Chains A and B, each alone.
Chain A
């Protein structure tokens, strides 16, 4: 029951995050939304695992968290250094 409530809450949040990702307006909003979405998915899967009595599925959550992190780092690097292909040669300073 409470897992269901938790699931519901997370789903609502995911919908909102998705809305932000779609609305933008800047790239950073989208990145942030994706990041949050990932986190929420982590929670969701964890909760669902409990919901269906198979908590051993947590591995998936763990991988999500990891991958989400890597993705975010990659996005950051992408924006930091390769904004539009390689045409921008200027150094934007340390991250």
Chain B
């Protein structure tokens, strides 16, 4: 499971861009949120990738282990995951409201309705 060099980061970046593309390009509100999720998770992967030390192990101190991976990115990402799920919940709640108000969750249909009114 050991990728050479920077490969790991590149994977994360490709995933980020896939998620970002979903956010930007898709008109469906839910799909945008899914894209946002993908985007965020990829950033988390990116962070976690940098915390790994070859031959290291999880930073839970236990006798018998010498090298531990970096705990700090984990801490940061724990926080970020929570933020991410909070975003999802909020955005989904909004989508429900939008669906109530407009009867659709397609961006262009909503725009059409807005420009009418």
Contacts and interface: CB of A to CB of B under 8 A. Distances in A.
A53 B58 contact: no
Interface of A is mostly: loop
Nearest to B64: A53
Contacts of A57: 58
B87 interface: no
B60 A56 contact: yes
A52 interface: yes
A53 B62 CA distance: 11
A54 B56 CA distance: 12
A55 B58 CA distance: 11
Contacts of B58: 52, 54, 57
Nearest to A56: B60
Interface string A20-33: 00000000000000
Contacts of B57: 52-54
A17 B111 CA distance: 39
A54 B60 CA distance: 10
Nearest to A49: B58
Interface string A51-78: 0111011000000000000000000000
Interface string A39-59: 000000000000011101100
9 contacts: A52-B57, A52-B58, A53-B57, A54-B57, A54-B58, A54-B60, A54-B62, A56-B60, A57-B58
Interface of B: 57-58, 60, 62
Interface of A: 52-54, 56-57
Given A53-B57, A54-B62, A57-B58, 6 more contacts: A52-B57, A52-B58, A54-B57, A54-B58, A54-B60, A56-B60
Nearest 8 pairs between A and B by C-beta? Answer: A54-B58, A52-B57, A54-B57, A57-B58, A53-B57, A56-B60, A54-B60, A52-B58
